[in-house]
Amino acid sequence: MIGLISATAAGAAARDRLAAAWPDRTRVYEGPVGEAVRAAFAQCEQLVCFLATGAVVRLVTPLLSGKTADPGVVCVDEGGRFAVSLLGGHAGGANELAREVGEVLGAEPVVTTATDAADLPGLDTLGLPVEGDVAGVSRALLDGEAVALRAEVAWPLPPLPVAAEGPYTIRLTDRLVEAAEREVVLRPPSLVVGVGASKGAPVEEVLGLVEGALREAGLSAASVAELATVDAKAEERGLLEAARRLGVPLVTYRAGELAGVDVPNPSDAPLAAVGTPSVAEAAALVRGGELLVPKRKSAANPAMATCAVVRRPGRGRLAVVGLGPGARDLLTPRAKAELRRAAVLVGLDQYVDQIRDLLRPGTRILESGLGAEEERARTAVEEARAGRAVALIGSGDAGVYAMASPALAEASDDIDVVGVPGVTAALAAGAILGAPLGHDHVSISLSDLHTPWEVIERRVRAAAEADIVVTFYNPRSRGRDWQLPKALGILAEHRAPTTPVGVVRNASRPDESARLTTLAALVPATVDMMTVVTVGNTATREIAGRMVTPRGYRWQEEPE
């Protein structure tokens, strides 16, 4: 919860705007400011104070207990011009909160954390448990000193300016090791502990078994991603409590699924009890990996718990990102976040140029020209399979005539894939023209490079007969000058010559142009590959210079 505190009418107005924007995330604290700050500091994960920074410093100083425990605090000035990350920039999330507040209120976020100011990911913001000399290694990264990355476990990380060797080290490992001098240890969630338990197994027995197995194998409990068991044990209190204390979920699988897993130590006892010859080993191995600790029993007599430990391989991450039609303000916040998270960027050279300034230092860029779509798709998937965090970019929405299709055709289930939607050319053009897509509509590409013209023509004819608004992508190029006239002719068989047609070139870009014409008056020679052509249906009208397809509301019907 985010506590909101203000002292003046201007501050209260900005406070109320934030509260209205985030009704489920915020709580307004009324009353004397000092009491409100103290109450919010004790009860909330974050605070936004519409007060002077000096006043907030004096109020929160007596309340501070430690970097990892204190809430994040953001200050907003009386004029609503700045959102200052004052306390808990990383651990308390105040840096990101300042940016979010800035977006809602139109304020400039002020972040003074060194790594953020240098556009480097903080070592304590990677989402992994971190140990060791965080300050010293972070300072070395900021100063440009050589910092070596020792990745004992493959795991997708954001771009870091690391070297092969250096006096400072970032060590990525699930081994039970202590950080050396000038070293940071990152703990990837690479371990899965399979557990079996008799009914009523006490949590102390389960937890003691798991922790002992990890310790004796030289493995860190901080790298445990989950406890796994058979679904018949989903409500076993000892397992649930052990998972809670370890801070991980208890994941369950059907007995039939576990029975199909090849394990080194099957047993008749679990087969009779829950329908699978193995619980601990099978639950740990069911999603693949390396068995580090075979099944072992607890020391109690009789033993009421078993466990096994598996290291799952690090899964690479492929984000397929839509950049929108070109304007920076139509690039979504989620797309920006994925671009900054990626250690490897793959894309068409002209699209890379659009967003190069958003990438973090150290991002590896793999760019190529037109016609290399399949090569880019393969490259992105190969980089992700190597355990890296990859962003594959496309214009508009990456799933619409763009890179998502070839990439996902190459990808298998050995990588994580994230789709990031973008504003399509059809939507951008529609917004410029008015509301041409107000009713059913379809997008059709007129490029026959990959689709036979017979198929395209059949689709155009179906749209024409169904009276659906049509947006043509790739309408005309130097080598393809007859397809658009042919498609317009098909539509003209079912629509009046006066049917509105919108033509938009380079939607949302500096050289954007748009015009409204008719089906009979459109000159195909004025259209190129940077243009989308939207043809209305029989209900589409030009109203006040805008192209509008009525939604069909009853109150819009003309009186008889």
Closest CA to 219 of 152, 314, 297: 152
Farthest CA pair distance, the chain? 90
CA distance 335 to 345: 13
**β-strand pairing of 250-253 with 290-297:** unpaired
Whether the Cβ atoms of residue 224 and residue 214 lie closer than 8 Å to each other: yes
The pLDDT, as a whole number, for residue 66 is 82
Q: Is 446 helix (H, G, I), strand (E, B) or coil?
A: coil
- With a cut of 70, say whether residue 25 has pLDDT above it: yes
Whether the Cβ atoms of residue 469 and residue 440 lie closer than 8 Å to each other: yes
Summarised one tens digit per residue, pLDDT across range 253-302 is 999 999 999 999 998 888 888 889 999 999 999 998 999 999 999 988 89
The confidence band for 154, taking pLDDT boundaries of 50, 70 and 90, is confident
Summarised one tens digit per residue, pLDDT across range 318-368 is 999 999 998 998 999 899 989 988 999 999 999 999 999 999 888 999 999
Cα–Cα distances in angstroms (integers) from residue 511 to residues 327, 332, 530, in the given order: 11, 21, 11
Detail the DSSP E strand segments found in 238-279.
250-253
Summarised one tens digit per residue, pLDDT across range 304-317 is 999 999 999 888 99
Closest CA to 364 of 377, 382, 350, 345: 345
The pLDDT, as a whole number, for residue 145 is 87
Whether the Cβ atoms of residue 495 and residue 541 lie closer than 8 Å to each other: no
Whether the Cβ atoms of residue 452 and residue 552 lie closer than 8 Å to each other: no
Helix segments in 344-441, DSSP class H:
349-355, 373-385, 404-410, 425-433
The pLDDT, as a whole number, for residue 402 is 87
List the structure tokens of 71.
């809430």
Summarised one tens digit per residue, pLDDT across range 407-437 is 999 888 888 999 999 999 999 999 999 999 9
Summarised one tens digit per residue, pLDDT across range 85-139 is 998 887 788 888 998 999 888 998 988 876 666 667 778 778 889 999 988 998 8
Report percent pLDDT > 90 for the chain.
65
List the structure tokens of 209.
């078994």
List the structure tokens of 74.
């953001």
The pLDDT, as a whole number, for residue 314 is 81
CA distance 105 to 80: 7
Average pLDDT over the chain reads 91
The confidence band for 142, taking pLDDT boundaries of 50, 70 and 90, is confident
The pLDDT, as a whole number, for residue 259 is 93
The pLDDT, as a whole number, for residue 387 is 86
Q: Is the peptide bond before 302 cis (omega within 30 degrees of 0)?
A: yes
CA distance 191 to 310: 6
- With a cut of 60, say whether residue 559 has pLDDT above it: no
Summarised one tens digit per residue, pLDDT across range 447-471 is 988 899 999 999 999 999 999 999 9
At a CB cut-off of 8 Å and minimum separation 6, what does 89 contact? Answer: 72, 95, 111, 112, 113, 116
Name, of 3-17, 151-165, 230-244, the range with top average pLDDT: 230-244
The pLDDT, as a whole number, for residue 119 is 65
The pLDDT, as a whole number, for residue 379 is 95
The pLDDT, as a whole number, for residue 141 is 84
The pLDDT, as a whole number, for residue 237 is 94
Whether the Cβ atoms of residue 460 and residue 443 lie closer than 8 Å to each other: no
The pLDDT, as a whole number, for residue 556 is 52
DSSP 93: -
Report percent pLDDT > 70 for the chain.
98
Q: Is 490 helix (H, G, I), strand (E, B) or coil?
A: helix
- With a cut of 70, say whether residue 151 has pLDDT above it: yes
The pLDDT, as a whole number, for residue 159 is 83
Among left, alpha and beta (phi > 0; psi -120 to 50; other), residue 275 is: left
CA distance 81 to 59: 22
Considering only CA atoms, give the Rg of the chain.
29
The pLDDT, as a whole number, for residue 325 is 92
**What's the mean pLDDT in 390-418?**
91
Q: Is 238 helix (H, G, I), strand (E, B) or coil?
A: helix
The pLDDT, as a whole number, for residue 153 is 86
CA distance 548 to 491: 18
